[in-house]
Amino acid sequence: MPAYGINFNEDTAQISNAFVQHAPLWLEIGFGNGDTLLEIATARPDINCIGIEVHAPGVGHLLRGVENRSLQNLRVIRHDAIEVVEHMIEPGSVERILVLFPDPWPKKRHHKRRLLKQPVIDALANCLLPGGVLHCATDWQPYAQDMLEQFNASQLLDNLAAGDSGFAQPPEYRLQTRFESRGQRLGHQVFDLLFERNSTVAESSELKPHNRPPG
């Protein structure tokens, strides 16, 4: 972490100062064991990548990969993602945000704990530069439908899906994660959502502490 980590604080300059190069920024929230982000950073040395995760085993796995590959374009923040978005990410500074297979909290009484709800979606959209992309994926169909409805309701985002379903083909950079593999064994279909940040000016899409989802 001293070599490849970024400490949480409210200084937005921490992000740009963490990298050797000035380059487009990609952000992954809840990266699990970090394999997807590791492959992206390896294949795309022309971009800077930040992974946000709270669980130590996944953070350790990614850090080991970063060190083994001597990557200078990938940094890790071990902290609550919503607080990072709220305090550390400049509006209009991110080219792509990935939220791959977040916890679906399938029981109805737990739906309030889901990460991707309207205030968070708009806060993530506000971090994107115009033309930037928010990419989410899930293997839980009810959550996919819920996300699609809420993404479509955002005035800041436009759907990039080509078909009528509203769901997109997965980009090449998205590896098959262990969560996806488990879902396929259970017969689950995987749904990808790709939404582009438009030029609409957000009135107040900053995520306020009292609007943050519980849990």
pLDDT in the model for residue 97: 98
Average model confidence (pLDDT) across the chain: 88
Q: How far is CA 194 from CA 6, 109, 126, 179, 206, in A?
A: 27, 28, 15, 19, 21
Residue 7 lies in a domain: no
The yes-or-no verdict on residue 43 having pLDDT over 60 is yes
Residue 212's nearest CA partner among 128, 109, 116 is 116
The yes-or-no verdict on residue 49 having pLDDT over 80 is yes
pLDDT in the model for residue 110: 63
The yes-or-no verdict on residue 206 having pLDDT over 50 is no
pLDDT in the model for residue 27: 98
Domain interval for residue 109? 13-211
Secondary structure element (H or E) that encloses residue 195, with its range: strand 191-197
Alpha helices by DSSP H, 11-167:
13-17, 35-43, 56-69, 81-87, 118-127, 141-153
Residue 47 lies in a domain: yes
More confident residue, 11 or 48: 48
| Per-residue pLDDT band at 34 (split at 50, 70, 90) | very high
Beta strand segments in 94-144, E: 94-100, 128-138
Residue 5 lies in a domain: no
- List pLDDT tens digits, range 56-69: 999 999 999 999 99
> How many structural domains is the chain composed of?
1
Residue 2 lies in a domain: no
pLDDT in the model for residue 118: 86
pLDDT in the model for residue 183: 66
Per annotation, catalytic residue among 11, 80, 103, 192: 103
Residue 133 lies in a domain: yes
| Per-residue pLDDT band at 211 (split at 50, 70, 90) | very low
pLDDT in the model for residue 215: 43
Sign (positive or negative) of CA dihedral 73, 78, 83, 88? negative
Sign (positive or negative) of CA dihedral 132, 99, 145, 138? positive
SS3 135: strand
pLDDT in the model for residue 75: 97
Residue 8 lies in a domain: no
Locus of tokens 């749904």:
191
Residue 6 lies in a domain: no
- List pLDDT tens digits, range 87-137: 999 999 999 999 999 877 567 776 777 878 888 999 999 999 999 999 999
Report the distance separating Cα 133 and Cα 195, nearest Å. 6
- Pair type for strands 94-100 and 74-77: unpaired
The yes-or-no verdict on residue 72 having pLDDT over 90 is yes
Residue 4 lies in a domain: no
Residue 14's nearest CA partner among 79, 81, 84 is 84
**CB contact at 8 A, 175 and 36:** yes
- Pair type for strands 191-197 and 94-100: unpaired
Q: What is the mean pLDDT of the segment spanning 18-25?
A: 94
Q: Domain of 202: which CATH number?
A: 3.40.50.150
Q: Does residue 103 carry a catalytic annotation?
A: yes
- List pLDDT tens digits, range 155-200: 999 999 988 899 999 898 887 766 667 767 777 789 999 999 998 8
pLDDT in the model for residue 65: 96
Rounded (10°) CA dihedral 68, 49, 123, 56: 10
**Is the whole-model pTM more than 0.85?**
yes
**CB contact at 8 A, 67 and 1:** no
